[in-house]
Structure 1
């Protein structure tokens, strides 16, 4: 009984930590008027434009690049299925 409660508490804590992670990328935004740059997920106002990104971190230092497609894997099963004749 105690083990189930412990596992439940640990699971709840881990799920809360996972939910706290940002889900969107960050962008380096620059103000058109003042030239000031900040790292944000969304434009602050129409005076701010994206200058660089996307980034994984809130400091705009780690580039958020998509994983390259692996060519050593077999084709998708959907691509291998026989085509239906109409």
Structure 2
């Protein structure tokens, strides 16, 4: 019982430190168009900037 409670408290406290994934600007290798995404868009795209805190890629982030 005590170990279950300790495990539950440990997992709950870890969730408090979780942060959302950063956003990055991505540029199309085909036509140079840019977009903002948290995940890579595929082989036809290259990272063009970031990280950012918002989905418009306007607020710089201090992500590691």
Cα RMSD of the aligned pairs, angstroms, is 1.4
Question: TM-score of the superposition, structure 1-length normalised?
Answer: 0.49
Partner of 1:38 in structure 2? 35
For structure 1, the 5+ residue unaligned runs are 1-21, 67-86
Deviation at 1:34, TM superposition (A): 1.1
Question: TM-score of the superposition, structure 2-length normalised?
Answer: 0.65
Question: Which structure carries more relative contact order (alpha carbon 8 Å, separation 6+)?
Answer: 2
Stretches (4+) displaced over 3 A = none
- Is 1:27 matched with 2:33? no
Q: CA separation in 1, counterparts of 2:41 and 2:48?
A: 13
Deviation at 1:45, TM superposition (A): 1.0
For structure 2, the 5+ residue unaligned runs are 1-18
| Rg larger for | 1
Deviation at 1:23, TM superposition (A): 1.1
When you count strand as a share of all residues, which structure comes out higher?
2
Deviation at 1:43, TM superposition (A): 1.2
